[in-house]
């Protein structure tokens, strides 16, 4: 009873309730109905007859580069002892990352200075890549290609669209003969080339820093004389496998989170056009930040671990 | 290879992403990290310097205050001393003056006494002489003739008088 009275009497609650109801009703009106989700696992070539390498993922990567560099230039170009608002924000971020790096790699250590550019660049690049995919227009603005060309990819996309029979049916119907929309932009994090590249860089630099710190002794982590230390040789073999599987876990963790997030947003927009996607946008903002932080922290932790000799511990 | 193709992975794109990351890192290192960290360090030093200076200034102020206090104390003590000295001097002078006055008065009194005594002695001697003369004259009159041995008579009277005087005083 109280709730009902509040609904009627409190103007703000009443207006909000009316707004929610109107939006939900509008969501089922066919005019406002969102198109079935267009799910593409791979980044697509933008030009139908152009080079295959010119994908929407690549274009967006360049856009991300541009945004990051512009943000840096705006913060640093008129750098002052007493910072302006933007300079302050950027300084806060750089200092936060610097302190985080130091807290893991050692305060004021040479390692901290060596690792810092790698991990902060990973963080910034991944964060902006994750967030740029949430901008309106991503996935909705694009170029129409003839259907036949991307049919094979569309098939895979359909397999991935796990939103129930209805959605798949609609999507499948849409694919038949109709031209396919290739989005102009695609979040670089939802492009396996980018996540795999970062994973390769992370794992390769881990080995590099390890060798730099310990010399050839570093590889005794993986290869031990099986006649002297049989158990150690087995463990070393597993270490080697774990190291290689890091490439996969790094790349697919980031790709999976961001790609799945975008699919979830599309599906939610398809099911209920209004309101429901907003909730998931908040979730995606959170996930985007967490994934950037996770990638950065794991890389930093692996770098630091690689520079520590294992023989000293045992 | 087909699986990689379906996932959209191609070595050209992979390489382009790796190069992209490397370039971005180098650019940001020069453009962002170095200047920002330098600025942070500079500001940290500036603040440390400022705090140190503030510390120094407050120390100097405290020192100046302490010095002021000692100087004031010194001055007060000196003033006290000067006053005490002055009081002592004044007392001494007063004492001097008083004692000298006393002495002078004493002297004057002594002199006056001596004068008076001398005068008295002279008067007494004179008086004795006259009395002796008178006594002789009276005796001469009574006897009707002049005493023969005048000198002896006079001595006799003087002896008598002196004896009287000595027992009388």
pLDDT in tens, A127-155: 999 999 999 888 788 888 875 444 445 45
Judge whether residue B5 has pLDDT over 90: no
| Residue B169: predicted pLDDT | 46
Can you tell me the distance from the alpha carbon of B95 to that of B146, in angstroms, rounded to the nearest whole number? 67
- Average pLDDT score over residue span B16-35: 94
Q: Which residue of B has its CA nearest to A63?
A: B20
Assigned token pair, B122:
């002279």
Q: Measured between CA atoms, how close is B7 to chain A, in angstroms?
A: 5
Can you tell me the distance from the alpha carbon of B162 to that of B54, in angstroms, rounded to the nearest whole number? 107
| Residue A164: predicted pLDDT | 45
Best residue in B6, B22, B25, B32 for a mutation probing chain A (most A CBs within 10 Å): B32
Judge whether residue A157 has pLDDT over 70: no
Range of the domain at A273: 34-306
Residue that has been written with the tokens 């294992």 in this structure:
A310
Lowest mean pLDDT among A40-49, A109-118, A169-178, B55-64: A169-178
Does residue A118 lie within any of the structural domains? yes
- Average pLDDT score over residue span B18-26: 95
Q: Measured between CA atoms, how close is B58 to chain A, in angstroms?
A: 25
| Residue B67: predicted pLDDT | 95
Percent of chain A residues topping a pLDDT of 70 = 88
| Residue B79: predicted pLDDT | 95
| Residue A177: predicted pLDDT | 62
> Nearest to residue A198, comparing CAs of A269, A275, A118?
A118
Judge whether residue A248 has pLDDT over 80: yes
**What pLDDT, in 10s, does the model give residues B98-142?**
999 999 999 999 999 898 888 888 888 888 888 888 887 887 777
Assigned token pair, B52:
């140190």
| Sequence ranges of the domains in chain B | 10-168
Does residue A4 lie within any of the structural domains? no
Can you tell me the distance from the alpha carbon of A86 to that of B110, in angstroms, rounded to the nearest whole number? 111
Does residue A105 lie within any of the structural domains? yes
ipTM of the complex: 0.84
Q: Say if residues A253 and A294 touch (Cβ distance below 8 Å).
A: yes
Judge whether residue B29 has pLDDT over 90: yes
Grade residue A119 by pLDDT with cuts at 50, 70 and 90.
Answer: very high
Percent of chain A residues topping a pLDDT of 90 = 45
Q: Say if residues A280 and A268 touch (Cβ distance below 8 Å).
A: yes
Does residue A285 lie within any of the structural domains? yes
Best residue in B4, B9, B14 for a mutation probing chain A (most A CBs within 10 Å): B9
How many domains does the structure of chain A reveal? 1
**What pLDDT, in 10s, does the model give residues A212-226?**
999 888 888 888 888
Query: Between the CA of residue B125 and those of B111, B121, B131, B134, B161, what are the distances in Å?
Result: 20, 6, 10, 14, 10
| Residue A163: predicted pLDDT | 44
Grade residue B152 by pLDDT with cuts at 50, 70 and 90.
Answer: confident
Judge whether residue A202 has pLDDT over 80: yes
Does residue A127 lie within any of the structural domains? yes
Does residue A22 lie within any of the structural domains? no
Output the average pLDDT for chain B: 87
**In 3-state terms, what secondary structure has residue A180?**
strand
Which among A69, A117, A201 has the least Cβ separation from residue B18?
A201
Question: B28–A72: do the CB atoms touch at under 8 Å?
Answer: yes
Other beta carbons within 10 angstroms of residue A49's beta carbon come to 7
The number of C-beta contacts closer than 8 angstroms across A and B is: 112
Beta pairing partners, A142: A183
| Residue A166: predicted pLDDT | 46
- Average pLDDT score over residue span A185-198: 93
Which positions in chain A have a beta carbon within 8 angstroms of at least one beta carbon in chain B?
41-44, 52-53, 55, 57-58, 61-62, 65, 68-69, 72-73, 75-76, 79, 81, 90-91, 94-95, 98, 116-118, 120-121, 124-125, 152-153, 156, 188, 191-194, 196-198, 200-201
Max mean pLDDT among A34-38, A74-78, A133-137, B29-33 falls in B29-33
| Residue A162: predicted pLDDT | 44
Output the average pLDDT for chain A: 85
- Average pLDDT score over residue span A244-268: 92
Judge whether residue A243 has pLDDT over 90: yes
Grade residue A314 by pLDDT with cuts at 50, 70 and 90.
Answer: very low
| DSSP annotation of A143 | E
Lowest mean pLDDT among A119-133, A150-164, B50-64, B95-109: A150-164
Does residue A104 lie within any of the structural domains? yes
Q: Chain A within 8 Å of B30 (Cβ-Cβ)?
A: no
Task: Name the helix (H) or strand (E) containing A144.
Answer: strand A142-145
- Backbone φ/ψ region at A38: left (φ over 0), alpha (ψ -120 to 50), beta: beta
Can you tell me the distance from the alpha carbon of A180 to that of A191, in angstroms, rounded to the nearest whole number? 19
Who wins on pLDDT, A222 or B160?
A: A222
A-chain CB neighbours of B11 within 8 Å are none
Q: Chain A within 8 Å of B16 (Cβ-Cβ)?
A: yes
Q: Say if residues A22 and A272 touch (Cβ distance below 8 Å).
A: no
Best residue in B3, B6, B7, B40 for a mutation probing chain A (most A CBs within 10 Å): B7
Judge whether residue A191 has pLDDT over 70: yes
Grade residue A46 by pLDDT with cuts at 50, 70 and 90.
Answer: confident
B-chain CB neighbours of A46 within 8 Å are none
| Helix pair A56-76, A192-214: axis angle to 10 deg | 60
Does residue A219 lie within any of the structural domains? yes
Who wins on pLDDT, A166 or B121?
A: B121
Lowest mean pLDDT among A82-86, A282-286, B150-154: B150-154
């Amino acid at each position: 009873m109280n709730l009902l009275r509040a609904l009627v009497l409190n103007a703000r609650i009443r207006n909000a309730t009316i707004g929610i109801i109107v939006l939900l009703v509008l969501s089922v009106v066919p005019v406002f109905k969102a198109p079935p989700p267009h799910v593409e696992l791979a980044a697509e070539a933008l030009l139908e007859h152009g080079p295959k390498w010119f994908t929407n993922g690549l274009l967006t990567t360049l856009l991300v580069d541009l945004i990051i560099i512009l943000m840096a230039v705006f913060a640093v170009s008129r750098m002052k002892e007493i910072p302006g608002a933007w300079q302050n924000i950027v300084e806060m971020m750089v200092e936060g990352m610097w302190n985080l790096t130091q807290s893991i790699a050692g305060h004021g250590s040479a390692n901290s200075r060596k690792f810092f550019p790698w991990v902060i660049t990973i963080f910034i690049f991944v964060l902006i890549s994750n967030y740029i995919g949430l901008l309106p227009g991503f996935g909705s603005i694009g170029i129409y290609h003839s259907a036949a060309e991307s049919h094979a990819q569309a098939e895979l996309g359909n397999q991935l669209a796990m939103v129930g029979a209805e959605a798949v049916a609609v999507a499948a119907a849409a694919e038949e003969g109709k031209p396919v929309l290739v989005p102009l932009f695609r979040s670089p994090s939802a492009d396996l080339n980018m996540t795999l590249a970062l994973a390769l860089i992370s794992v390769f630099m881990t080995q590099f820093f390890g060798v730099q710190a310990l010399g050839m002794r570093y590889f005794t982590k993986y290869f031990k004389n099986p006649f002297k230390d049989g158990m150690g040789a087995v463990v070393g073999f597993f270490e080697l496998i774990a190291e290689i599987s890091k490439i996969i876990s790094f790349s697919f963790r980031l790709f999976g989170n961001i790609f799945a997030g975008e699919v979830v947003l599309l599906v939610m927009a398809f099911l209920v056009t209004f309101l429901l996607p907003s909730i998931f946008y908040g979730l995606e903002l959170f996930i985007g930040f967490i994934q950037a932080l996770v990638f950065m922290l794991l890389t930093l932790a692996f770098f630091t671990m690689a520079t520590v000799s294992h023989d000293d511990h045992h | 290879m087909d699986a990689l193709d379906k996932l959209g992975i191609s070595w050209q794109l992979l390489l382009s992403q790796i190069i992209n990351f490397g370039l971005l890192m180098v650019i940001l290192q020069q453009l962002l990290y170095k200047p920002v960290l330098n600025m942070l360090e500079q500001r940290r030093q500036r603040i440390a310097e400022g705090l140190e200076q503030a510390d120094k200034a407050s120390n100097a102020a405290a020192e100046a205050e302490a010095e002021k206090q000692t100087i004031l104390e010194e001055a007060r003590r000196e003033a006290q001393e000067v006053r005490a000295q002055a009081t002592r001097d004044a007392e001494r002078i007063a004492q001097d003056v008083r004692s000298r006055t006393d002495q002078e008065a004493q002297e004057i009194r002594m002199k006056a006494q001596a004068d008076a005594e001398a005068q008295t002695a002279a008067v007494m001697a004179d008086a004795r002489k006259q009395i002796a003369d008178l006594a002789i004259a009276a005796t001469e009159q009574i006897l009707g003739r002049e005493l023969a041995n005048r000198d002896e008579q006079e001595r006799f009277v003087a002896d008598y008088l002196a004896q009287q005087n000595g027992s009388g005083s």
